[in-house]
Structure 1
Amino acid sequence: MQRSIKELSVRYDPINETNTFTNGDIVEGRVVLEVTKEINVENLFVKLTGDADVRWTEGSGDDERSYSDHERYFKQKQYFIQDSSKKGQCEKNTTLVSGETYGSVIKPGSHVFPFRFQLPQQNMPPTFKGFHGWVKYIVMVKLKRSWKPTSSAQAEINFAPRNFGTNDHLLQPQSGTEDKKMKLFGSGKMSMTVTTDKTGYMLGEIIRVSVDIDNSSSRDIKLKYSLKQLQTFIAGRSTTHAHKDIVKETKDCIPSGGKTRFVVDIKLPHDIMVTIENCRIIKVQYELKVYLDVSFASDPTVKFPVVIIPPLQQCPPWHDPPPPYMPPQPNLVPYPGGAAPPPAGLYPNLYDPVPPYPGTAAGTFPNPNAMLPGFHPAPSAPVYDLNQSTKESFPNAPH
């Protein structure tokens, strides 16, 4: 039997070359619905959500335990078609956005429904996928009919918090010294002083590390260093950790009686995750470790935290900042569970305050998702020749 819904997809317009959104940006796009026969729709809506989620298991068999937690940052919803009996009702923890509405009867053909959201101006973590959790910003469409399974499709957007400058404490250099006196398998002592040029770095920057070594021992030693990413996942009072090495290197040997200075440049990749400290259930941190490799003895080690922030984003070249696009917000989103907002300073804010206008104007770059000529929104869902439609389908997701 032929399915009545041939396509249900959601597409949004890229906002810049990297297709990355930030605080206050406008997310515009369209829902495409193609049906092969007339259908009656109870609800058709698109929503934009921001969420963090963690889950993991420990043990096995009868001792296996599962842990999970969730944090929602916002939910905005725009209705195209709504059950008349529910119109005007408040929806918990949801910001309702007004837009064009359509009749509940959908004729055969391909139909386009435009939407427009604005990302909140609040301090939210970046898009992230880790070992035991994620942070996602998703545009999802749902279509509900009587006595039929709910149809849905979604698309993820990449979000990075706005950074208009670097906080003063991130510009501070770091320094540490470690000494070791040889007792077994050798004599004398060795010392190492490590200095970094600052504490915080943007993606793509170079971490410059100076290492002064005095090997007054009877042993030859090697200088080693690493940059490690540490992921922490939190569910209630339980935590689990994961890590991965970003850089791991060994320098030349320092012979007995030798003194030397190494200047090490560590280039940060552009594709690693920035530091996350503004999420209640997920932390992403970095540790720089510099140590002397001494055979059959403990290694003198200096460790520093490293903060990685998004690249500096430029303001658009407006002569005067335009007023922000503020969709109607009859239901403001409270913090999860109705709790009060966390006190200032509870989570370190690595980013300067967000300005009161969108970061980048939509339409600056070509839109690869643009509809072909002939697709135009209209007060009632328009019908088009199925043979002339061009589609980029997303798989239907279960309800």
Structure 2
Amino acid sequence: MSRSIKEFSLHYDPINESNTFTTGDIVEGRVVLEVTKEIKVDSFFVKLRGDANVRWTEGSGDDKTTYSDHERYFKLKQYFIQKSSKRGKREKNATLVEGETYGPVIRPGSHVFPFRFQLPQQNMPPSFEGNHGWVKYVLMVKLSRRWKPTSTKYTELTFVLRNDGSNDHFLQPQSGTQDKKMKLFGSGKMSMTVTSEKTGYMQGETIRVFVDIDNSSSRDVRLKYSLKQQQMFIAGRSINAGFKHIIKETRDRIPSGEKSKCIVDMMLPRDLTVTIENCRIIKVQYQLKISLGLSFASNPAVIFPVVILPTDQQCPPWQGLPRGFQPYSPPQPSLMPYPGELPPPTSGLYPNLYTPSVLPHPGAAAGVYPNPHAVQSGFHPAPSAPVYDPNQSTK
């Protein structure tokens, strides 16, 4: 920073306790500039941008290939001081916001320059940072002088999706049944019916599923359940994808010839990344899997998609249980019985859980999950996520 500039800072006003913003919100703040002597300014402006970016490298040596892509959602710009040659002219890919206009000479002392933006009313993905990409909403101020280094400051805003009441499908329960007839290493058959309370859950909430097991086989089985996250980074036709388990547990044994009804509760981390479906180059999805563990045989499983929402968009729980969901006598050890009868779940909800407009690819809701073109071996190693460059795509 120049010796003539004593302070150059950027501040915005939080609008809620969580310090988040969403579609249509007003972003207000100020730039504080304190100078020790008179300076002449060529250009002085503040801007707010929303962008997504992906970048990763595969191979090594001569076979090394870098993949990247970028998506811009908006760029808003408010000038405090603008070059006379540019006044009244439009700027490519930028929306100019009117504000107070100041002269090119700034006298000694402390000066406050207020700004005000309104976030666009459009469908934009939430803030995100992953192994190979990010979605960021950045507030930046830039002061340019002739023959002097440019002074720049920036800060990030946390953008979340708005709950506008149009996501009623998040409240719908899901139900699925899986049967297995033993052929090798056993005889008889087993069946499992799984019902979840709903489709959408907020960060920190508990996923509750009801499992009805009839083990009429000659084998003992164990109930297993997991919640798996998939992140996909897309650059043209290239996809870098990987999985990680958020929750993975095994419950008590269900002996041969016995039945069991139990409730499985899975508490979600409060900092869990929310689902991202509305970004062209980044997807974050979740898969809930309930299975019966068998040695030397394939495990029958029921798989549901799950949507993770921000903490301020809680979906009320589904007020119902499968009909006749009573504990068998005696109940299995450590399996939580749920007393009472309640109406049956609505049928026909699975697999059509998402609106077609937000599906990452045809058939995703029907269990073609993840994308068959995605890499299945886990996230590719990377030293860090792509670093935000304030000078990237600024023109």
Instruction: Report the TM-score, using the length of structure 1 for normalisation.
Output: 0.76
Q: Deviations over 1:271-314 (max 9, x none)?
A: 22222111111111110011112122221121111122335569
Say if 1:98 and 1:110 are closer, same or farther in 2 by CA, change over 3 A: same
Please tell me whether the aligned partners of residues 127 and 160 of structure 1 are also in contact (alpha carbons under 8 angstroms).
Answer: yes
The corresponding residue for 2:265 is 265
Per mean C-alpha deviation after superposition, the further-off stretch among 202-211 and 54-63 is 202-211
| Aligned positions of 1:356-371 closer than 5 A | none
The corresponding residue for 2:127 is 127
Q: Deviations over 1:234-287 (max 9, x none)?
A: 111111112222222221111222210111122333322222111111111110
For the residues of structure 2 that align with 1:166 and 1:313, how far apart are their CA atoms?
A: 12
Please tell me whether the aligned partners of residues 227 and 289 of structure 1 are also in contact (alpha carbons under 8 angstroms).
Answer: yes
Aligned to 1:14, the other structure's residue is in SS state coil
| Aligned positions of 1:372-383 closer than 5 A | none
| Higher RCO (CA 8 Å, separation ≥ 6 residues) | 1
Aligned to 2:358, the other structure's residue is in SS state coil
- CA RMSD between the two structures: 2.4
For the residues of structure 2 that align with 1:183 and 1:106, how far apart are their CA atoms?
A: 86
For the residues of structure 2 that align with 1:284 and 1:398, how far apart are their CA atoms?
A: 27
Q: 2:358 aligns with which of 347, 350, 372?
A: 347
For the residues of structure 1 that align with 2:262 and 2:126, how far apart are their CA atoms?
A: 35
Q: Residue type of the partner of 2:123?
A: N
For the residues of structure 1 that align with 2:70 and 2:182, how far apart are their CA atoms?
A: 51
Aligned to 1:66, the other structure's residue is in SS state strand
Please tell me whether the aligned partners of residues 127 and 159 of structure 2 are also in contact (alpha carbons under 8 angstroms).
Answer: yes
Matched, 1:66 2:77: no
Say if 1:98 and 1:398 are closer, same or farther in 2 by CA, change over 3 A: closer
Say if 1:166 and 1:97 are closer, same or farther in 2 by CA, change over 3 A: closer
**Paired positions, count:** 324
Unpaired runs of 5+ in structure 2?
A: 315-354, 361-388
Say if 1:299 and 1:140 are closer, same or farther in 2 by CA, change over 3 A: same
Q: Residue type of the partner of 1:149?
A: P
Per mean C-alpha deviation after superposition, the further-off stretch among 28-37 and 117-126 is 28-37
Q: Residue type of the partner of 1:216?
A: S
Say if 1:171 and 1:255 are closer, same or farther in 2 by CA, change over 3 A: same
Unpaired runs of 5+ in structure 1?
A: 315-343, 350-395
Please tell me whether the aligned partners of residues 193 and 212 of structure 2 are also in contact (alpha carbons under 8 angstroms).
Answer: yes
For the residues of structure 2 that align with 1:206 and 1:191, how far apart are their CA atoms?
A: 25
The corresponding residue for 1:83 is 83
The corresponding residue for 2:172 is 172
Q: Deviations over 1:2-22 (max 9, x none)?
A: 733333221100111000111
Please tell me whether the aligned partners of residues 29 and 116 of structure 1 are also in contact (alpha carbons under 8 angstroms).
Answer: yes
For the residues of structure 1 that align with 2:175 and 2:356, how far apart are their CA atoms?
A: 26
Matched, 1:242 2:253: no
The corresponding residue for 2:255 is 255
* 4+ runs deviating over 6 angstroms: 396-399
Structure 1 residue 199: Cα displacement: 1.8
Please tell me whether the aligned partners of residues 46 and 78 of structure 1 are also in contact (alpha carbons under 8 angstroms).
Answer: yes
Matched, 1:294 2:294: yes
Q: Residue type of the partner of 1:168?
A: D
Say if 1:237 and 1:2 are closer, same or farther in 2 by CA, change over 3 A: closer
For the residues of structure 2 that align with 1:37 and 1:172, how far apart are their CA atoms?
A: 65
| Aligned positions of 1:35-50 closer than 5 A | 35-50=35-50
The corresponding residue for 2:9 is 9
For the residues of structure 2 that align with 1:254 and 1:44, how far apart are their CA atoms?
A: 70
Q: Deviations over 1:192-224 (max 9, x none)?
A: 211112222233433221111122223222111
For the residues of structure 2 that align with 1:109 and 1:276, how far apart are their CA atoms?
A: 46
Please tell me whether the aligned partners of residues 151 and 398 of structure 1 are also in contact (alpha carbons under 8 angstroms).
Answer: no
Q: Deviations over 1:311-334 (max 9, x none)?
A: 5569xxxxxxxxxxxxxxxxxxxx
Aligned to 2:16, the other structure's residue is in SS state coil
Q: Residue type of the partner of 1:98?
A: E
Q: Residue type of the partner of 2:127?
A: T
Please tell me whether the aligned partners of residues 128 and 136 of structure 2 are also in contact (alpha carbons under 8 angstroms).
Answer: yes
For the residues of structure 2 that align with 1:87 and 1:16, how far apart are their CA atoms?
A: 36
Aligned to 1:219, the other structure's residue is in SS state coil
